[in-house]
A = this chain, B = another copy of it.
Amino acid sequence: MGGRTRLDMDVRRQQLVEVGRELFAKRPYDEVWVEEIASAAGVSRGLLYHYFPTKRDFFVEVVRAQVDHIAELTAPDLSKPPLEGLRETLDAYLRYVEENAQGYISIHRAGIGSDAEIRAILEESYARDVDRILQRITAGGAAPAIVRVAVRGWLAFTIGTVIDWIEHPTIERDELRELLVQAMKGCVTAAMEVEPGTKLPGIQDDAGVGAEAAR
Protein backbone atom coordinates (compact mmCIF):
# COMPACT_ATOMS: atom_id res chain seq x y z
CA MET A 1 0.00 0.00 0.00
CA GLY A 2 1.31 3.44 -0.87
CA GLY A 3 4.43 2.13 -2.66
CA ARG A 4 5.14 3.25 -6.21
CA THR A 5 3.85 0.68 -8.63
CA ARG A 6 5.25 -0.04 -12.09
CA LEU A 7 2.18 1.68 -13.57
CA ASP A 8 2.76 4.80 -11.45
CA MET A 9 6.33 4.89 -12.74
CA ASP A 10 5.27 4.54 -16.38
CA VAL A 11 2.73 7.32 -15.99
CA ARG A 12 5.29 9.58 -14.31
CA ARG A 13 7.81 8.82 -17.04
CA GLN A 14 5.27 9.77 -19.70
CA GLN A 15 4.41 12.97 -17.87
CA LEU A 16 8.08 13.95 -17.74
CA VAL A 17 8.55 13.21 -21.44
CA GLU A 18 5.48 15.33 -22.23
CA VAL A 19 6.96 18.25 -20.29
CA GLY A 20 10.21 17.76 -22.20
CA ARG A 21 8.41 17.74 -25.51
CA GLU A 22 6.91 21.15 -24.73
CA LEU A 23 10.21 22.65 -23.60
CA PHE A 24 12.28 21.29 -26.49
CA ALA A 25 9.59 22.31 -28.98
CA LYS A 26 10.38 25.99 -28.43
CA ARG A 27 14.08 26.12 -27.61
CA PRO A 28 17.30 24.39 -28.71
CA TYR A 29 18.64 21.40 -26.81
CA ASP A 30 21.61 23.29 -25.39
CA GLU A 31 19.43 26.03 -23.94
CA VAL A 32 17.13 23.79 -21.91
CA TRP A 33 18.53 22.92 -18.47
CA VAL A 34 17.81 19.85 -16.37
CA GLU A 35 16.83 22.12 -13.44
CA GLU A 36 14.25 23.75 -15.66
CA ILE A 37 12.75 20.46 -16.82
CA ALA A 38 12.46 19.27 -13.21
CA SER A 39 10.91 22.56 -12.15
CA ALA A 40 8.41 22.59 -15.04
CA ALA A 41 7.42 19.02 -14.16
CA GLY A 42 7.18 19.88 -10.45
CA VAL A 43 9.70 17.22 -9.41
CA SER A 44 13.19 17.29 -7.91
CA ARG A 45 16.34 17.03 -10.03
CA GLY A 46 17.04 13.81 -8.19
CA LEU A 47 13.76 12.25 -9.26
CA LEU A 48 14.32 13.31 -12.87
CA TYR A 49 17.77 11.66 -12.78
CA HIS A 50 16.15 8.58 -11.26
CA TYR A 51 14.08 8.17 -14.42
CA PHE A 52 16.69 9.46 -16.90
CA PRO A 53 20.36 9.18 -15.92
CA THR A 54 21.41 12.00 -18.29
CA LYS A 55 19.86 14.88 -20.18
CA ARG A 56 20.71 13.05 -23.38
CA ASP A 57 18.81 9.92 -22.24
CA PHE A 58 15.85 12.16 -21.52
CA PHE A 59 16.10 13.82 -24.92
CA VAL A 60 16.24 10.44 -26.67
CA GLU A 61 12.88 9.57 -25.08
CA VAL A 62 11.45 12.95 -26.05
CA VAL A 63 12.50 12.34 -29.66
CA ARG A 64 10.98 8.87 -29.61
CA ALA A 65 7.70 10.30 -28.30
CA GLN A 66 7.76 13.05 -30.91
CA VAL A 67 8.43 10.65 -33.77
CA ASP A 68 5.59 8.38 -32.58
CA HIS A 69 3.29 11.37 -32.28
CA ILE A 70 4.08 12.51 -35.85
CA ALA A 71 3.56 8.95 -37.11
CA GLU A 72 0.05 8.93 -35.63
CA LEU A 73 -0.67 12.42 -36.89
CA THR A 74 0.33 11.50 -40.42
CA ALA A 75 -1.25 8.05 -40.63
CA PRO A 76 -2.57 7.80 -44.20
CA ASP A 77 -6.29 7.96 -44.85
CA LEU A 78 -6.75 4.90 -47.05
CA SER A 79 -10.17 6.07 -48.24
CA LYS A 80 -8.57 8.89 -50.27
CA PRO A 81 -6.51 8.75 -53.48
CA PRO A 82 -2.77 8.80 -52.63
CA LEU A 83 -1.99 12.40 -53.62
CA GLU A 84 -5.09 13.79 -51.93
CA GLY A 85 -4.27 11.78 -48.81
CA LEU A 86 -0.69 13.06 -49.00
CA ARG A 87 -1.95 16.65 -49.17
CA GLU A 88 -3.94 16.22 -45.94
CA THR A 89 -1.09 14.42 -44.23
CA LEU A 90 1.33 17.20 -45.16
CA ASP A 91 -1.11 19.79 -43.91
CA ALA A 92 -1.19 18.16 -40.47
CA TYR A 93 2.59 17.72 -40.58
CA LEU A 94 3.36 21.35 -41.41
CA ARG A 95 0.93 22.65 -38.76
CA TYR A 96 2.66 20.46 -36.21
CA VAL A 97 6.09 21.67 -37.34
CA GLU A 98 4.98 25.30 -36.99
CA GLU A 99 4.03 24.65 -33.36
CA ASN A 100 7.21 22.68 -32.66
CA ALA A 101 9.73 24.45 -34.84
CA GLN A 102 12.72 24.32 -32.53
CA GLY A 103 12.12 20.69 -31.62
CA TYR A 104 11.97 19.82 -35.29
CA ILE A 105 15.28 21.55 -35.98
CA SER A 106 16.89 20.01 -32.87
CA ILE A 107 15.99 16.53 -34.01
CA HIS A 108 16.70 16.87 -37.69
CA ARG A 109 19.80 18.97 -37.57
CA ALA A 110 21.43 20.83 -34.73
CA GLY A 111 23.71 19.66 -31.93
CA ILE A 112 22.64 16.33 -30.62
CA GLY A 113 20.75 15.57 -33.83
CA SER A 114 23.58 13.38 -35.07
CA ASP A 115 23.69 11.26 -31.93
CA ALA A 116 23.80 7.57 -32.97
CA GLU A 117 20.71 6.57 -30.99
CA ILE A 118 18.63 9.48 -32.27
CA ARG A 119 19.88 8.70 -35.75
CA ALA A 120 18.63 5.13 -35.35
CA ILE A 121 15.19 6.35 -34.23
CA LEU A 122 15.03 8.65 -37.24
CA GLU A 123 16.21 6.01 -39.70
CA GLU A 124 13.50 3.70 -38.42
CA SER A 125 10.87 6.39 -38.83
CA TYR A 126 12.10 7.24 -42.35
CA ALA A 127 11.96 3.57 -43.31
CA ARG A 128 8.39 3.36 -42.00
CA ASP A 129 7.40 6.53 -43.89
CA VAL A 130 8.94 5.19 -47.11
CA ASP A 131 7.13 1.86 -46.67
CA ARG A 132 3.82 3.61 -46.04
CA ILE A 133 4.21 5.75 -49.16
CA LEU A 134 5.37 2.84 -51.33
CA GLN A 135 2.40 0.75 -50.24
CA ARG A 136 0.09 3.53 -51.38
CA ILE A 137 1.71 4.23 -54.72
CA THR A 138 2.27 0.61 -55.69
CA ALA A 139 -1.21 -0.31 -54.41
CA GLY A 140 0.43 -2.99 -52.27
CA GLY A 141 2.61 -4.42 -55.06
CA ALA A 142 6.41 -4.62 -55.19
CA ALA A 143 8.36 -1.38 -55.58
CA PRO A 144 11.46 -1.30 -57.81
CA ALA A 145 14.62 -0.21 -55.95
CA ILE A 146 14.78 3.08 -57.83
CA VAL A 147 11.27 4.08 -56.73
CA ARG A 148 12.25 3.39 -53.13
CA VAL A 149 15.33 5.60 -53.58
CA ALA A 150 13.18 8.35 -55.11
CA VAL A 151 10.71 8.25 -52.21
CA ARG A 152 13.58 8.29 -49.69
CA GLY A 153 14.91 11.30 -51.58
CA TRP A 154 11.51 12.99 -51.42
CA LEU A 155 11.59 12.60 -47.62
CA ALA A 156 14.98 14.33 -47.57
CA PHE A 157 13.52 17.02 -49.89
CA THR A 158 10.67 17.49 -47.40
CA ILE A 159 12.85 17.73 -44.30
CA GLY A 160 15.37 19.98 -46.08
CA THR A 161 12.73 22.43 -47.33
CA VAL A 162 10.86 22.40 -44.00
CA ILE A 163 14.01 23.32 -42.02
CA ASP A 164 14.77 26.01 -44.59
CA TRP A 165 11.18 27.28 -44.38
CA ILE A 166 11.32 27.52 -40.56
CA GLU A 167 14.43 29.67 -40.80
CA HIS A 168 13.58 31.57 -43.99
CA PRO A 169 9.80 31.61 -44.44
CA THR A 170 9.90 33.03 -47.97
CA ILE A 171 6.75 31.16 -49.06
CA GLU A 172 3.40 30.44 -47.38
CA ARG A 173 2.67 27.16 -45.66
CA ASP A 174 0.09 26.24 -48.29
CA GLU A 175 2.59 26.90 -51.07
CA LEU A 176 5.14 24.67 -49.37
CA ARG A 177 2.51 21.95 -48.95
CA GLU A 178 1.63 22.10 -52.64
CA LEU A 179 5.30 22.11 -53.59
CA LEU A 180 5.77 18.93 -51.53
CA VAL A 181 2.76 17.23 -53.16
CA GLN A 182 3.94 18.19 -56.66
CA ALA A 183 7.52 17.20 -55.80
CA MET A 184 6.26 13.72 -54.87
CA LYS A 185 4.79 13.45 -58.36
CA GLY A 186 8.05 14.85 -59.80
CA CYS A 187 10.31 12.47 -57.87
CA VAL A 188 8.25 9.37 -58.66
CA THR A 189 8.01 10.42 -62.30
CA ALA A 190 11.81 10.84 -62.29
CA ALA A 191 12.23 7.22 -61.16
CA MET A 192 9.86 6.09 -63.92
CA GLU A 193 11.86 8.06 -66.49
CA VAL A 194 15.00 6.16 -65.48
CA GLU A 195 13.16 2.82 -65.47
CA PRO A 196 10.41 3.27 -68.05
CA GLY A 197 8.72 -0.08 -67.50
CA THR A 198 7.80 0.76 -63.90
CA LYS A 199 4.13 0.29 -63.02
CA LEU A 200 2.74 2.23 -60.08
CA PRO A 201 -1.01 1.61 -60.11
CA GLY A 202 -1.63 3.56 -56.91
CA ILE A 203 -0.42 6.85 -58.30
CA GLN A 204 -0.13 6.53 -62.07
CA ASP A 205 -3.73 7.44 -62.82
CA ASP A 206 -3.78 10.03 -60.07
CA ALA A 207 -3.25 13.55 -61.41
CA GLY A 208 -1.29 12.46 -64.44
CA VAL A 209 1.77 11.04 -62.72
CA GLY A 210 3.85 9.05 -65.10
CA ALA A 211 2.07 10.36 -68.18
CA GLU A 212 5.43 11.38 -69.56
CA ALA A 213 7.09 8.03 -68.87
CA ALA A 214 4.11 6.20 -70.29
CA ARG A 215 4.35 7.93 -73.65
A194 within 8 A of B: yes
Q: Which of A19-27, A42-50, A104-112 is the contact stretch?
A: A104-112
Q: Does A76 contact B (CB under 8 A)?
A: no
Which of B113, B153, B154, B176 is A114 in contact with, Cβ under 8 Å?
Answer: B113
Contacts of A124 in B (CB 8 A): none
The verdict on A152 contacting B160 (CB below 8 Å), with A109-B114, A183-B187 known, is yes
Partner of A153, one of B157, B170, B195: B157
Of residues 162 through 208 on chain A, the ones whose CB sits less than 8 Å from some CB of chain B are 164-165, 170-171, 175-176, 178-179, 182-183, 185-187, 189-191, 193-195, 208
Closest residue of chain B to A160 (Cβ to Cβ) is B156
Q: What per-residue 1/0 map shows which CB atoms of A140-167 lie under 8 Å from chain B?
A: 0000011011101111111111001100
Provide the bound-state CA to CA distance between A183 and B192, in Å. 11
Q: Is A212 an interface residue (CB 8 A)?
A: yes
- Inter-subunit contact B153/A161 (CB<8 Å): yes
Question: Does the CB pair B161–A149 fall under 8 Å?
Answer: yes
Residues of B within 8 A of A195 (CB): 175
Of listed A150, A183, A212, residue having the most chain B CB within 10 A: A183
18 A-B residue pairs with CB within 8 Å: A110-B114, A114-B114, A146-B175, A148-B170, A150-B179, A152-B160, A153-B157, A153-B161, A153-B164, A156-B156, A156-B159, A157-B160, A178-B193, A179-B190, A179-B191, A179-B194, A186-B190, A208-B212
